[in-house]
Amino acid sequence: MRNLENIKKVVIKVGTSTLTYANGNLNLVKMENIVRQISDLHNRGLEVILVTSGAIGTGASALGYKERPKTIPEKQACAAVGQVTLIHMYQKLFSEYNKVSAQILMTREDIRDRKRYLNGRNTFFTLLDIGAIPIVNENDALVVDEIKFGDNDSLSAMVSSFVDADLLIILSDIDGLYDSNPKENKDAKIIDYVETITKEIEGYAGGAGSKLGTGGMITKLHAAKICCSSGVSMIICNGASNDSIIRAVNGENVGTYFQGKVKPMKGRQHWLAYEAAPKASIIVDLGAEKALKNHKSLLPKGIVSIEGKFDEGDVVSILGVDGNRIGHGISSYNSKDLSSIIGVETKKIEEILGYKHYDEIIHINNMVIF
Ligand code: GLU
């Protein structure tokens, strides 16, 4: 059963393949349709946020590229050109429906850094309070590769969790998640409802994606995981028809519906799990792995090695000896000092370092285990 009766805040994600023709030019009819449906939802009293792709494609076509550019500087230049066209067109269309739109260009850093995270939420909440429709894209013109969201499926899921949305609708060029590749198997069936993302469901995402956008079905499933764990339900449906958003919000059986968890991860836990994006790792032995999974803090004794540099208070990945990701946590010690106390008993910390902040390297309260 799709549970959409009490939704108040909806995020709509539109991909490049829905928004543009194969030559990169904007498909104005589709764009107008999307804006009209969003404006209608807004008229109903819903809060709506639009996450849109299409900057690079639109810029490339405006600059006369025959195909999508491959180098990063060219992509960034195209994004800078295309984003203006994109937002100009949205603003023009939204104003026809008497709506005020606002542009927000995000980077991963805005979510990774706790202060910026809280500040960004306030910006969104204020815009929604005053009745504006935020239009979000990644800040492609400036952001460097290693801190990119990379695809707008992930971005839209992060935004949905960030603003405590009730529902994310991802408009795609396929009808939803199939149980096998519909291009190869004519008996492939669309999955209507997903309660939990099991291994079986993840297996379905393998071959059924579109090749046009950045993200295929795999990135959409990743987006679903982010959403569901933070209590946001998600629908993947085809953006080709001119009423798919309205039908999805009305609870009709369009596309695939993923049920958000009734008991979602709390804000800080979710931030640690999905938004903080650690750059360094602590590798722990089997005994520590077991203890962590039994809700114990991480002590120096269970640490085998560390990878990368970090400061006290930074988020790190916790890996098992075979490289499996056990969780994320906030380290109480910097990597330099921690490297001197690897494997030692807690009582030796002060003797070795000349100080002791805590017995725990990562306290259970500062940790999320997957
Ligand atoms: N942010 C990119 C753009 O506007 C799109 C990324 C994606 O396709 O997922 O072109």
Ligand 1 centroid vs 56 CA: distance in angstroms? 7
% of the chain residues with pLDDT over 70: 97
CATH number at residue 218: 3.40.1160.10
Report the 3 state secondary structure along the chain.
CCCCCCCCEEEEEECHHHHECCCCCECHHHHHHHHHHHHHHHHHCCEEEEEECCHHHHHHHHCCCCCCCCCHHHHHHHHHHHHHHHHHHHHHHHHHCCCCEEEEEECCHHHHCHHHHHHHHHHHHHHHHCCCEEEEEECCCCCCHHHCCCCHHHHHHHHHHHCCCCEEEEEECCCCCECCCCCCCCCCCECCEECCCCHHHHHHCCCCCCCCCCCCHHHHHHHHHHHHHCCCEEEEEECCCCCHHHHHHCCCCCCEEECCCCCCCCHHHHHHHHHCCCCEEEEECHHHHHHHHCCCCECHHHEEEEECCCCCCCEEEEECCCCCEEEEEECCCCHHHHHHCCCCCHHHHHHHHCCCCCCCCECHHHEEEC
The domain boundary, picked from 234, 264, 294, lies at 264
Could you tell me if the CB of 210 is within 6 A of ligand 1? Answer: no
Read off the pLDDT of residues 305-327 as tens digits, 9 standing for 90 and up: 999 999 998 999 999 999 999 99
**Which of 58, 135, 151 to mutate for ligand 1's pocket (most ligand atoms within 8 Å of CB)?**
151
Could you tell me if the CB of 151 is within 6 A of ligand 1? Answer: yes
Ligand 1 centroid vs 36 CA: distance in angstroms? 22
Number of domains comprising the chain: 2
79 and 49 in one domain? yes
Ligand 1 centroid vs 77 CA: distance in angstroms? 13
What atom of ligand 1 comes closest to residue 15's alpha carbon?
8
In a domain, 58, yes or no: yes
140 and 31 in one domain? yes
In a domain, 351, yes or no: yes
Residue 286 has what pLDDT?
Answer: 96
* Residues contributing to the annotated binding site for ATP: 13, 172-173, 214-220
CA 243 to chain centre: 25
* Residues contributing to the annotated binding site for substrate: 53, 140, 152
Could you tell me if the CB of 140 is within 6 A of ligand 1? Answer: yes
Q: Identify residue 3 by its one-letter amino acid code.
A: N
Residue 212 has what pLDDT?
Answer: 33
Ligand 1 centroid vs 15 CA: distance in angstroms? 7
In a domain, 176, yes or no: yes
Ligand 1 centroid vs 50 CA: distance in angstroms? 13
Could you tell me if the CB of 215 is within 6 A of ligand 1? Answer: yes
In a domain, 193, yes or no: yes
Residue 213 has what pLDDT?
Answer: 39
354 and 207 in one domain? no
Read off the pLDDT of residues 221-239 as tens digits, 9 standing for 90 and up: 989 999 999 899 999 999 9
What atom of ligand 1 comes closest to residue 52's alpha carbon?
4
Residue 138 has what pLDDT?
Answer: 95
Which residues form the domain of 278? 268-369
The domain boundary, picked from 212, 243, 264, lies at 264
Name residues of the chain where pLDDT drops below 70: 146-147, 207-215
Could you tell me if the CB of 213 is within 6 A of ligand 1? Answer: yes
Ligand 1 centroid vs 315 CA: distance in angstroms? 27
pTM value is: 0.82
Residue 12 has what pLDDT?
Answer: 98
